[in-house]
Structure 1
Amino acid sequence: MIDTPFDEIPKIHSLLHQTFASRKTFSIAWRQHQLLQVARMLQENHKAFADAIYEDLGKPAFEVYLTELNVMIDRAIISAKRVSEWAKEKNLEDHPDIPPLQKQWKPRVTPTPKGAVLVISPWNYPLILSIQGTIGAIAAGCTVCLKLSEVTSNYAGLVQRLVPKYLDQDAIRVVCGGVPEVTKVLELKWDHIFYTGNGTVARIIAAAAAKHLTPLTLELGGKSPVIVDPESCDLELAARRVLWGKISNCGQICVSPDYLLIPPSATQSFVTGLKKAYASFYPPNPDGTPSVFKSDSYGRIINLQHFNRLKSLLEKTEGKVLMGGGIDETERRIEPTVVLVKPGDVLLETETFGPILIIVEVEDMQRACEFISAGAHPLVLYVFSKSEKVQNQARKLTMSGNLIFNDTFMQLDVRVLPFGGVGESGYGRQVLENTFNCFTYERTSLDVPDEVEQKIFLRYPPYTERSFEVEITGNLSVKIPDSSMESGLLA
């Protein structure tokens, strides 16, 4: 990865605005070609992408193909196929709320690209979280500045080299570097900013955007909870699915199960299920030591800073370790770890963003919902229960960006579902058409014909008594309200 020179950043900004002003990107054919080029770039260099992400994160190739590469190839191709439909002008003449007279005015809504946009991607899922926003912006007809995370330098360097070979350099540019570079980028006026990351940085980005009144999409995260209802779920299967959600990318994902709420009477059975699943995922070595430290099916913590942060949390917690706890600093690997804590523990203060599953014992569903609602609204709430009553309680008594029953993580695979947070976990929605919608606005239009003048002439001064006796249009009236109706409404 080569840091983008400071003096290049304003030039990139200016070029992208100039290209957008030329309306080159408005062409559906141009958009489709660029989207297919994204798919081609990923297809033709799939091994290079998998290798780069392994070098940065130690992520198994299977995980890269399953959760990033194949997903983005698929969505780039779908976007190319569907963009003409998404961008189509909508005729509202037949809308049930349009009066007959206004049907002649040709009411239309056109999804219109916002302009030159900025996509800021994080390090934890470097491919999907940089390409997904870029796909949506291209489909929308915007020009794109893609700011990649310096933490995943191998991936960033690969994209930096490949994008000029596949994509239109007048319209899609990559910026690499750390805090100084992103600070420089944020000084400039963009027409939309699409950021994925954490709330701390999001506040900085939102403050920078506010100076220019720039709209934002923020995909953040936070502590995504799990509620287990032992009366109506298979505890062993629930444990297996929760552990899989926790170990994916070593827990370094915004939808990772962060803490689990369960009645005390079921804790032991659930932990037994976790241990059984763990042993099947990563069978221990003959001497009993964890095999996970050398496993090709387990990633590693991104860097020493994050490793030490997680290590410090495990050292500071007053909770009881029920499973795992092993640490290999050389490999930057932390064994999948389960800790039973009480409210107020250090592990409950912030999102762990690592392979640590926290268990908090609560008496019932009501108390579980109260515990969740006392904090920031999570990006996703997982509930393991087949009871309709319990599921309805979760719907009514909590707020979250996503609400998933009886599994973890799989909401990301259902491409028709809008994905995003609420409150502290972010705002705006993405995936396919929803990402397209982030980068467009609904431009409305009317064409009022001359011949309707005889119907609307009473809108002009001077106003007389007769002005109050005639409806100006089929929808707008200045008649004096009936006194009996008025008194009845206000009584």
Structure 2
Amino acid sequence: MSTSELVYTPIEEIAKIRDNLRAGFASGKLKSNEYRKYQITQLIYLVKDNMVRFEEALSKDLGRPALEARMMDIIPTISEAVTQLKNVDKWTKPTRPPFSFNFFAMRPLIRKEPKGTVLIISPFNYPVWLTLAPVAGALAAGNSVCLKPSESTPATSALMTELVAKYLDTDLVSFVNGAIPETTRLLELQWDHSNGRVAKIVATAAAKHLTPVTLELGGKSPVIIDPKCDLKTAAKRIMWGKVVNAGQTCVAPDYILVPREFQETFVDALKEVYEEFYPDPAKRAAVPGSYSRIITPQATERISGLLEKTQGKIAFGGEINKDSKYIAPTVVTDVKADDSLMSEEIFGPVLPIVPVDSIEDAIKFVNERDYPLALYIFSQDNELKTKVFNKTQSGAVIANETLIHPGADGLPFGGVGPSGYGMHTGKYTFDMFTHFRASMDSPSWIDYILKFRFPPYNTSKENAVFRLMNSLPSRPTGPPSTKGTGKWWGKWFILALAMAVAGGLTSRSKMTAA
């Protein structure tokens, strides 16, 4: 099957598309949960009916193997849409806040209402999932949607544009295709919510209209290695997380922190896994569809430039073919903090190994840098894992796994600080596109109870106001200890109690004997 050609949207048409989507939202079609579910079901079959075409498009754009296309882009999109479909009725129901004696008679309620017409700007690296999966959540919440996919994946973007027009109501879901001029025009318009990876540009443009924004960005996601980890499992999962999509994943392992004396052992394990994954390197390099390619010549040049400038040692890999945008999976050892490979997110299949003196030094290294989108720790030691969890900050913190947490049912996917803000997937996507509208319906007779709120004021009314205050906690006598002494005090108390009981029994036995 042939893939469609990407046609950029004329600049003068963009405002008309936005206005048509607003009219579609105002029509009230999506006030019906049944129509929302119909559109989401159509979205599911849009992807399901055209899996082979999506695989072909992803191969053309990214050189992606068919299995990776299904596993990382196509199936997750269908799964997300099915989750939204199953929960539309449940999630859209009004909910009551926790019981409050002061306000329960006013019938407080939280209504779930759509934000309106929303804008989704998606990146190139997972162009199906990061474009169409959020549409399911936006439709479940009752919004109309404008989509701006990446121009760097023209075959996939063109295919999605073609299929959305065929399967979905274009008064509710439409595409704008293009590059910087088209995106700039989109951001000049007012939207009711927007998201995207153009970060500061999107946030600045949205601020002019006070538009809420969700930004899923990236950063340098570190991996901390405990020498007592399951070595084979760690090497296999880290290498897989780095080679999928040729490392072009926002939560791909970006660098490894490993105790200095364990570096050689760990690199040997990585190399063994690498050779298992790719027993025929020549085929990987020459045959499209066996290993993904870098998205553009410019990106290939950027990554190869970082590799050329490194002061570390290439342990294996390092082959580059700029003409075919091919960079082999590459591990670099003895990388220092100021190395070129540590200067920015790599977003490619190059994995620096940074030796450290201890796990404490690894934690310090992470904390001296921007909060990452993901932080990985490989260890069988629960106390060590807890220490890493508690002493660091990141969008997600994952033990003994890489890459798959964005697809885990029920978990939010999002960053913190420079790695982004807001969250999505599942219920979090629905909430992202939902306005939680406060509602009350106060009866007339309440004024007999709350008459003190009306002027003229007097001492009796002032005293009545204080009775509305919730009961207060006891006043603290001083700050609590932050040194963890409570844990040890508890152990010593139990020991002292046991000794006291034993002493008492001994005394009693002596008295009895006497």
The match for 1:64 is 69
Structure showing greater radius of gyration is: 2
2:29 counterpart letter in structure 1: K
1:202-351 equivalent positions in 2, closer than 5 A: 202-230=199-227, 232-284=228-280, 291-294=284-287, 296-340=289-333, 341-351=335-345
2:105 counterpart letter in structure 1: Q
Question: Structure 2 CA distance, aligned partners of 1:153 and 1:290?
Answer: 26
Determine if the alignment matches structure 1 residue 373 to structure 2 residue 367: yes
1:59 counterpart letter in structure 2: R
Determine if the alignment matches structure 1 residue 77 to structure 2 residue 82: yes
Residues 291-350 of structure 1 show CA distances to partners (whole Å, capped at 9, x for unaligned) of 444364311111211111111111111111111101123322111001121110011010
Question: Structure 1 CA distance, aligned partners of 2:385 and 2:468?
Answer: 43
Q: 1:269 to 1:295 in 2, by over 3 A?
A: farther
Residues 126-155 of structure 1 show CA distances to partners (whole Å, capped at 9, x for unaligned) of 000101221111111111000111110001
Whether the 8 Å contact between 1:293 and 1:328 is mirrored in structure 2 is: no
Structure 1 counterpart of 2:54, from 46, 49, 61: 49
Whether the 8 Å contact between 1:282 and 1:292 is mirrored in structure 2 is: no
Whether the 8 Å contact between 1:255 and 1:380 is mirrored in structure 2 is: yes
1:18 deviates by 2.1
Question: Structure 2 CA distance, aligned partners of 1:333 and 1:73?
Answer: 30
Question: Structure 1 CA distance, aligned partners of 2:76 and 2:133?
Answer: 9
Aligned pair count? 471
Structure 1 counterpart of 2:443, from 449, 462, 480: 449
The match for 1:107 is 108
1:270 counterpart letter in structure 2: F
Determine helix, strand or coil for the equivalent of 1:450. Answer: coil
1:19 deviates by 2.2
Question: Structure 2 CA distance, aligned partners of 1:353 and 1:396?
Answer: 27
Determine if the alignment matches structure 1 residue 91 to structure 2 residue 88: no
Question: Structure 2 CA distance, aligned partners of 1:291 and 1:439?
Answer: 42
Whether the 8 Å contact between 1:293 and 1:335 is mirrored in structure 2 is: no
Question: Structure 2 CA distance, aligned partners of 1:405 and 1:12?
Answer: 45
1:6 counterpart letter in structure 2: I
Residues 356-385 of structure 1 show CA distances to partners (whole Å, capped at 9, x for unaligned) of 001100011111011111110000001001
Question: Structure 2 CA distance, aligned partners of 1:6 and 1:49?
Answer: 27
Q: 1:102 to 1:362 in 2, by over 3 A?
A: same
The match for 2:401 is 407
Whether the 8 Å contact between 2:63 and 2:288 is mirrored in structure 1 is: no
Whether the 8 Å contact between 2:247 and 2:348 is mirrored in structure 1 is: yes
Whether the 8 Å contact between 2:246 and 2:291 is mirrored in structure 1 is: yes
2:229 counterpart letter in structure 1: C
Residues 58-79 of structure 1 show CA distances to partners (whole Å, capped at 9, x for unaligned) of 0001001111111211221221
2:304 counterpart letter in structure 1: K
The alignment yields a C-alpha RMSD, in angstroms, of 2.0
Greater shift in the superposed pair: 65-74 or 376-385: 65-74
Q: 1:154 to 1:412 in 2, by over 3 A?
A: same
Where does structure 2 lack aligned partners over 5 or more consecutive residues? 1-5, 479-514
Whether the 8 Å contact between 2:284 and 2:291 is mirrored in structure 1 is: no
1:413 deviates by 3.1
Whether the 8 Å contact between 1:324 and 1:336 is mirrored in structure 2 is: yes
Determine if the alignment matches structure 1 residue 26 to structure 2 residue 22: no
Residues 172-227 of structure 1 show CA distances to partners (whole Å, capped at 9, x for unaligned) of 110100000000000001010111x3xxx301111101101110000000100000
TM-score of the aligned structures, taking structure 1 as reference length: 0.92
Where does structure 1 lack aligned partners over 5 or more consecutive residues? none
Structure 1 counterpart of 2:415, from 415, 421, 426: 421
The match for 2:182 is 181
1:467 deviates by 1.5
Whether the 8 Å contact between 2:284 and 2:290 is mirrored in structure 1 is: no
TM-score of the aligned structures, taking structure 2 as reference length: 0.88
1:455 deviates by 1.0
Whether the 8 Å contact between 2:230 and 2:380 is mirrored in structure 1 is: no
Whether the 8 Å contact between 1:137 and 1:144 is mirrored in structure 2 is: yes
